[in-house]
Amino acid sequence: MLFPTLSFGLFFLLVFCIVWAASGSNEWRKILLLLASWVFYGAWDWRFVALLIASALLNWSAAAMIWLERDGRAGRRKAIMIMGVFGNLVILGFFKYYGFFVEQLGDLLRDVGFARDLPLIQVVLPVGISFFTFQGMSYLADVHAGRLVPARLLDVTLLMSFFPHLVAGPIVRGSDLLPQFQQSPRLTRDMASIGLVLILWGLFKKAVVASELSTGLVDPVFFDPAAHSRLDLVAAAYGYAVQIYCDFSAYSDMAIGIAALLGYRFPLNFNQPYRAASLQDFWRRWHISLSSWLRDYLYISALGGNRQGFARQCVNLLATMLLGGLWHGAKWTFVIWGGLHGGVLAVERIWDRIRPDWMPRLPRILGILITFHIVLVGWLFFRAETFDAAIAYLKGIGTAGAASAVLTPLACVLILFGLAIHFTPVDLGQRLALRLRLLPAWALGLLVGVTVLIVDTMRFEGVAPFIYYQF
């Protein structure tokens, strides 16, 4: 059930009515939200609802055991936390990386002359598994560190299953959402108006910009780069940068908006990432809930951050980004993408340290251009099926002819639009919501209806799944 479909629209209308009708009892409200979340997840595959419940049980019980040991030995508490995190990693590892690692092991054994028939099985990847396992691990780490008191089973299960963020984030931490579950929320005009703005904006970015660029330009060019001209390859590279932003940020915007209409507050996940003037700045703007998760739980807590010297800090940065790349999927291209980001982040730190005082910093506009093009090269590896395909694409840009076959005026406008929205005022949506909240319901209702109608006339027939569903 994809957000920008009528199926989801009708599902949400039903959930909205039932949940607010049951708001007299916060417990019933949460139970209904949980059931709705399971229906939403079960629409992909009912079997994985059991996995979701098992994962919640694992994290709830491990957190409860950590709490029971709060006056006991620190080593025991840590051991329980590590076992809980390991349990999450086993779930993630089996479903997401089993096939990849067995394949690599098979190649390795063959290369050293010990070729064996390994138990290669086709494992179906549950949608959103990377998101809910990361959520579970951060919950355990927060309880272990005393930042969070263990929650009840219902709350932990809802935290991990709550349908707006379930399949593609944002990664909402227990410390952000569990306190909100303590009391029945109240829907204000402010929340409703900004929620609607975010939903409509997300709908436009996904259904119009991302879908049009994907089907008309990016997919055909990436499918067979050798058959396309240099201009098409360059345009598709820019097109993919806009597509992935409009696709993923659209999901986040819609998730935040949907949660707001249900009375909950989700974190910011994107903040105009292509106006970043350095890669460090980029990661403060792109998929913020993942980058802050990696920073807090992996880079600082697990690897030690910058506490063990500068050289170790650079290695930690690289390791964090390599694992961040692998988080996206079991493919070498993701590891290379993470390695590129980690390497450039480390180079930025080194340059900050060795830059002579007399040397001026780069003008901001130059920093933005350089950062954007590093990110762009990274996206080529991210999008390509294999490393060789990415290299062939890059070589094609240098060698292929200049006549374009697939670049249309509309694609050009959409690419420019997707880049231009990074340079609008940061709080444009909020300013709009402040105006909309003053309108009478009938006027805003008509405005919403007209906007959906316009988007629906522009959308490509059918809706492709969000790119981040596969992660």
How many residues bind to another protein according to rule CB under 8 A? 64
Cβ 269 to another protein, closest distance in Å?
Answer: 9
448 lies in the site for another protein, by CB under 8 A = yes
Residue 310 C-beta: closest distance to another protein, Å: 21
Interaction between residue 196 and another protein (CB under 8 A): yes
Interface with another protein by CB under 8 A: which range of 264-272, 339-347, 360-368, 371-379? 264-272
CB closer to another protein, 118 vs 450: 450
Among 150, 216, 239, 325, binds another protein (CB under 8 A): 216
Q: CA triplet 149, 153, 154: central angle to 5 degrees?
A: 110
Buried/exposed 247-281: b ≥16 CB within 10 Å, e otherwise: bbbbbbbbbbbbbbbbbbebbebbebbbbbbbbeb
Q: Of the ranges 255-263, 352-360, 378-386, 388-396, which one interacts with another protein (CB under 8 A)?
A: 255-263
Q: Whole-angstrom Cα distance, residue 389 to residue 359?
A: 39
CB under 8 Å, gap of 24 or more: what pairs does 244-247 form? Answer: 244/210, 244/379, 244/382, 244/383, 244/467, 245/270, 245/273, 245/274, 245/418, 246/205, 246/206, 246/209, 246/210, 246/213, 246/418, 247/205, 247/206, 247/210, 247/214, 247/466, 247/467, 247/468
Side chain identity at 365, as an amino acid letter? I
Active-site residue among 144, 165, 328, 341? 328
Distance between CA atoms of 222 and 233, rounded to whole angstroms?
8
> What phi and psi values does residue 169 have, to the nearest 5 degrees?
75, -170
Site track for another protein across 410-429, x = CB under 8 A: x----------------x-x
- Between 74 and 450, whose beta carbon lies closer to another protein? 450
Query: Which residue, 52 or 235, is less far from another protein as judged by CB?
Result: 235
Our finding on whether 190 is near another protein (CB under 8 A) is yes
Kindly state whether residue 26 participates in binding another protein, applying the rule CB under 8 A.
no
| Residue (61 or 404) nearer to another protein, CB | 404
Instruction: Enter the tokens of residue 76.
Output: 């025991």
| Contact flag: residue 187 with another protein (CB under 8 A) | yes
Burial of 88 (0-12, 13-18, 19+ CB in 10 A): buried
User: CB-wise, 401 or 449, nearer to another protein?
Assistant: 449
Burial class (CB in 10 A: 0-12, 13-18, 19+), 438: exposed
In sequence order, what DSSP letters do the residues of 281-294 get, joined into one string?
HHTTTSSHHHHHHI
Among 146, 423, 450, 470, binds another protein (CB under 8 A): 450
Taking the complex as a whole, how short is the minimal distance between the CB of residue 322 and another protein, in angstroms?
22
Residue with smaller CB distance to another protein, 76 or 435 = 435
Q: Give the 3-state secondary structure of residue 306.
A: coil
Query: Whole-number minimum distance, CB 232 to another protein, in Å?
Result: 11
Cα 199 to its chain centre, rounded Å, is 17
407 sits near another protein (criterion: CB under 8 A): yes
Contact letters (x/-) for another protein, 372-401, by CB under 8 A? ------------------------------
Minimum separation from the CB atom of position 356 to another protein (A)? 33
Comparison of 175 and 470: residue with beta carbon closer to another protein? 175
Q: How far apart are CA 204 and CA 64, in angstroms?
A: 43
219 binds another protein (CB under 8 A): no
Residue 470 interacts with another protein (CB under 8 A)?
Answer: no
Alpha-carbon torsion 253, 383, 129, 324, what sign? negative
Task: Answer yes or no whether residue 57 interacts with another protein by CB under 8 A.
Answer: no
**With respect to another protein, which residue has the nearer C-beta, 389 or 452?**
452
The CB-of-103 to another protein minimum distance in angstroms stands at 37
Cis peptide before 170 (omega within 30 of 0): yes
Using the 8-state DSSP alphabet, how is residue 205 labeled?
Answer: I
Q: How far apart are CA 349 and CA 343, in angstroms?
A: 10
**Is 165 an active-site residue?**
no
Q: 3-state DSSP call for residue 274?
A: helix
Q: Does 169 bind another protein (CB under 8 A)?
A: no
Go through the chain and tell me how many residues it has: 471
Query: Is 216 or 378 the residue whose CB approaches another protein more closely?
Result: 216
Contact between 212 and another protein (CB under 8 A)?
yes
Interacting span for another protein (CB under 8 A) from 57-65, 253-261, 276-284, 371-379: 253-261
Q: Does 43 bind another protein (CB under 8 A)?
A: no
Residues forming the active site: 328
Interface residues with another protein (CB under 8 A) are 5-7, 13, 16, 20, 145, 147, 173, 175-176, 186-192, 194-196, 198, 212, 216, 253, 256, 260-261, 265-268, 292, 296, 300-301, 404-405, 407-410, 427, 429-431, 433-434, 437, 441-442, 444-446, 448-450, 452-454, 456-458, 461
